[in-house]
A and B are shown apart, each in its own frame.
Chain A
Amino acid sequence: MIPLSSYLVVSSVLFATGLIGVLIRRNFIIILMAVEIMLNAANLNLVAFSSYLDSMAGQIVALFIIAVAAGEAAVGLAIIIVVFRGKIATNVDQINLLKW
């Protein structure tokens, strides 16, 4: 039987990877993908705990997280399209004005 701590180690490694991706990449879309990695790590953690503690609560929260990730992807990509259409930038470190 696989111990719960193995799942927690995998999920924390994935979370750390996503966090480092958000911090070091320049491209918008890759940063959103790194956020998706972090959400998946959190989902893995929730489902592992819910399975080992014989409770459904964690899996329900994981479903809600998937729904929130869908909304986040839609709105984030819409913002990216708006920024790109204004010919402003394709990288996050070039966006340094609130209004132009």
Chain B
Amino acid sequence: MVQQLFFYYLAFASVLSAVLTIGLRNPVHCGLALLSLLFHIAGFFILLNAEFIAAVQIIIYAGAILVLYLFVLMLLNLKTEERYLHRRYALWLFFGLLAAGQAFWLLLKSPFAGKPGDVTPEKVTQFGHTQTIGIVIFNEYFLPFEIVGVFLLGAIIGAIVLAKDRPPADQRETSR
């Protein structure tokens, strides 16, 4: 009963904050609505017995990614514009609703079944979620883990190279 109440609250609040994220005019308000959405998704993860993912969601998404967004918003000092939707937004809204309708249709006709694994909730509560996920990630998924590390290195280098301030053209020869 408590779980269901919690679920309905989270579902309502996360959908509301997602709609506010794409609907508000001021970009900073959109960022704050996105923050609320990320916290509610973390609540869903706790409800699904995935505490480690919930902590990572809050630390990385809300702590790092969203701060990056707000930092860039304040750096660029974007003004709230009169016309904040796309010029032909009605057409794109139609296509978006069409795609959403197809997703719902696929959801309704799918059987949602699969082969159950061996990590039962009892095992997770016995060892703790962090230990369970750590054992799996460093045994079965070690190569993808390393590849993600290299990917993040590439992303850091790419971001620095893109955003680095180039000297003006007349000073470029002397600084080289």
Collect the chain B residues with CB atoms within 8 Å of residue A36's CB.
34, 61, 65
Task: Contact check, A40 vs B11: say whether CB atoms are below 8 A apart.
Answer: no
Q: Please report the C-alpha to C-alpha distance between residue A21 and residue B84 in the assembled complex, in whole angstroms.
A: 11
With A16-B96, A54-B117, A71-B152: A33-B64 Cβ-Cβ less than 8 Å:
no
Contact with B along A5-38 (1 / 0, CB 8 A): 1111110111111111101111101101110110
Task: Contact check, B57 vs A90: say whether CB atoms are below 8 A apart.
Answer: no
- A37 CB, min distance to chain B CBs, angstroms: 5
Q: Please report the C-alpha to C-alpha distance between residue A26 and residue B78 in the assembled complex, in whole angstroms.
A: 13
Q: Considering residues B7, B87, B112, which has the most beta carbons from chain A within 10 angstroms of its beta carbon? A: B112
Interface of A is mostly: helix
With A33-B21, A82-B162: A47-B53 Cβ-Cβ less than 8 Å:
yes
- A90 CB, min distance to chain B CBs, angstroms: 6
* Count class of interface residues, chain A: 35 or more
Collect the chain B residues with CB atoms within 8 Å of residue A49's CB.
114
Interface size on B, residues (CB 8 A): 81
Task: Contact check, A69 vs B53: say whether CB atoms are below 8 A apart.
Answer: no
Residue of B nearest to A43 (CB): B41
Collect the chain B residues with CB atoms within 8 Å of residue A40's CB.
37-38, 41, 61
Q: Please report the C-alpha to C-alpha distance between residue A63 and residue B52 in the assembled complex, in whole angstroms.
A: 10
With A7-B44, A74-B156: A18-B18 Cβ-Cβ less than 8 Å:
yes
Collect the chain B residues with CB atoms within 8 Å of residue A80's CB.
72, 76
Q: Please report the C-alpha to C-alpha distance between residue A7 and residue B156 in the assembled complex, in whole angstroms.
A: 34
Collect the chain A residues with CB atoms within 8 Å of residue B103's CB.
12, 15-16
Q: Which of A53-92 contact B (CB under 8 A)?
A: 53-57, 59-60, 62-64, 66-75, 77-82, 84, 90-92
5 A-B pairs with least C-beta separation = A55-B117, A21-B22, A71-B155, A16-B100, A23-B92
Interface residues of A (CB under 8 A from B): 1-2, 4-10, 12-21, 23-27, 29-30, 32-34, 36-37, 40, 43-44, 47-51, 53-57, 59-60, 62-64, 66-75, 77-82, 84, 90-93
Interface residues of B (CB under 8 A from A): 3-4, 7, 11, 14-15, 18-19, 21-22, 27, 30-31, 34, 37-38, 41, 44-45, 47-50, 52-53, 56-57, 60-61, 64-65, 68-69, 72-73, 75-76, 78, 81, 83-87, 89, 92-93, 95-97, 99-100, 103-104, 107, 112, 114-121, 132-133, 136-137, 141, 144, 148, 151-152, 154-156, 158-160, 162-163
What 9 new A-B contacts, CB under 8 Å, besides A2-B3, A23-B95, A70-B155? A8-B107, A14-B37, A19-B96, A20-B97, A37-B21, A53-B114, A55-B117, A60-B141, A75-B162
